[in-house]
Amino acid sequence: MEKLIYDNEICIGCKNCEMICSLIHLADSIGNASRMKNYPLIDGILFGSTFCQQCSPAPCQKQCEAEALTKDEKTGVVHLDKDKCQKCFLCIDACPFGGISIPAPEDFPIKCELCDGDPKCVKFCPTHALRYGEEEKQLTKRQKNMAMRLKKTYVPGVKQ
């Protein structure tokens, strides 16, 4: 199953991933309405990103009583059905990797669904820090650790 892979060691922090993601998916709110967030210079580590890891089983799915979150077993993508969402936002807390956020001024959650198998952030990434393909275990592990740290110190886009 193909995954979105991020290598922070070759990331240059240009945030083109963020801007393109929001331009394509929620153009009324560029930059903020991104399903992918990129952060600069944390604890001596240069860049870090948060985005959905398409987990199985997915902790966000478990929390969702409205069954708005479903896993496509074929593609591995966790989909979010905006119409079913009850806006309880428990999924946001449930995700350990900061992969779900609410883009102000909207009030619904957004998450990466891999652009139907053609992630645009990958297309616009200048350095191939973002890749789409077979899982690279070491990078996924590094990414998850980094995202958990980011989530602990800073939850993106959530307005209480």
Partner 1 sequence: MYGYQGKYLFVDLSKLEYKVFDLDPSMVEKYLGGMGINLKLMQEYGRPGLDPYSPENPIIIGTGPFVGTSAPAACKTFVTTKYPLNNWIGTAVGGMNFARELKKAGFDHVAIVGQAPKPVYLLIEDGELFFKDAEDLWGHQDIYDTTDTLRERHGIDCSVISIGQAGENLVGMSLCLIDYIASLGKGGLAAVMGSKRLKAIGAKGSGAIRVADPEGLLEVVTPMAEAMKASPIREKMMTLGSMGAWPHWSETVGNPYKGWREVFPRDRLRERFGPDAFLTEIKTTKIACPGCYMPCKEIYDYTTEDGVDRRTYASSFIGRVTAFGARLDVGTIAASLDCHELCSRMGIDTYCVSSALDYLITLYEDGVIGLDDTDGFVLKRDYPTTMKLLEQIGLRQGVGGKLSDSLFDLEKVFGKKFEALIKGMDYIFDGRNNRLGTYEFEEVVNPRGAHQHPGGSPTYGSRNIDIQQMVNYCNAMGLTEQEKKEVFYRDDDFNVARMVRHCEEYYSTYNITGVCSRKITKVFYNMDIFSRMFACITGMEVSPRELKQAGERAWNLLKLLNAAEGASRADDRFPDLWFEPMHDGEEALRFTDYYGRKVLEREDLDNLLDDYYSDRGWSKTRGTPTVETLKKLGLEGEYIDLKNKNAQLMIENG
Does 24 bind partner 1 (CB under 8 A)? Our answer is yes
Looking at the Cβ atoms of 49 and 61, the one nearer to partner 1 is 49
Q: Considering the complex, state which of residue 84 and residue 128 has its C-beta at the smaller distance from partner 1.
A: 128
3-class SS of residue 15 = coil
Judged by CB under 8 A, the residue of 4, 5, 7, 20 near partner 1 is 20
Identify whether the C-beta of residue 51 lies closer than 8 Å to the C-beta of residue 6. yes
Q: What residues contact 67, with CB distance under 8 A and at least 6 apart?
A: 84
Residue 16 contacts partner 1 per CB under 8 A: yes
DSSP state at residue 3: E
HSE toward the beta carbon, residue 57, CA cutoff 13 A: 6
Residue ranges that bind partner 1, judged by CB under 8 A: 12-16, 19-20, 23-24, 27-33, 39-42, 46, 103-105, 123-124, 126-127, 153-154, 157, 159
